[in-house]
Amino acid sequence: MKKLAVYCGSATPADPIFIEAARHVGRTLAARGIGVVYGGGRLGLMGAVADAALEAGGEVIGVIPEALVGAEVAHRGCTQLHVVQTMHQRKQLFTDLSDGFVTLPGGVGTMDELWEAISWSQLGYHQKPVGLLNVGGFYDQLVGFNRQMVQAGFIRPQHAGILLHADGIDALLDAMTAYQPHETIFAMKADRL
């Protein structure tokens, strides 16, 4: 993996565990020679990941819609900053530029990015690893809900392993490196859907 899309919030929660985890992710990716592709903002967890990666000598590629340049206060110190017109273009560029996806804590936008990466993987638009960093148990209920969707039959058995999750970034990156692509929906016959 040469570049990973990092999905996370632009907010700064009161609990410092989240900002510190974001900084740790940025430093770890830089130390492993993995470039960061992210939302292009300089605030919140987004800014913490980018700043830490840059300080550690890493590559940071921001992708931000023009309408959010001011609202998210675009990070002008990125190695590259792509300004796009729409959120759809932003997510497509995340996918095009990265070799996988890491999701840190965040809100609605972060969830949109995570579930789209999983959905696109199921379908076959990409077969890149999708990782979830469960900082301080933040995603315990989401991991449980994903398991419930598998058990209820809404996620096919061959797609049950798409969402990789771990409590630490090193373990998550190791799981992502070992990820084996699954059979996609596009490759299945109608009688198996």
SS3 content of the chain, % helix, strand, coil (to 5): 50, 15, 35
Domain containing 142: what range?
A: 3-192
Q: In terms of C-beta distances under 8 Å and separation of at least 24 residues, what long-range contacts does 67-71 make, across chains too?
A: 68/40, 68/41
- In angstroms, rounded to a whole number, what is the distance separating the alpha carbons of residues 156 and 165? 18
The CATH code of the domain that includes 40 is 3.40.50.450
Q: Are 135 and 17 in contact (CB under 8 A)?
A: yes
Among residues 98, 102, 125, which one has the least CA distance to residue 22? 102
Q: Name the band, by pLDDT with cuts 50, 70 and 90, for residue 190.
A: confident
Per-residue pLDDT, 69: 86
The number of folded domains in the chain is 1
3-class secondary structure per residue, 150-182 = HHHCCCCHHHCCCEEEECCHHHHHHHHHCCCCC
Return the SS3 of 134. coil
Overall average pLDDT of the 62-82 stretch: 90
Q: What is the pTM of this model?
A: 0.95
Overall average pLDDT of the 24-29 stretch: 98
Q: Name the band, by pLDDT with cuts 50, 70 and 90, for residue 74.
A: very high
Average pLDDT of the residues of the chain: 95
- In angstroms, rounded to a whole number, what is the distance separating the alpha carbons of residues 37 and 44? 16
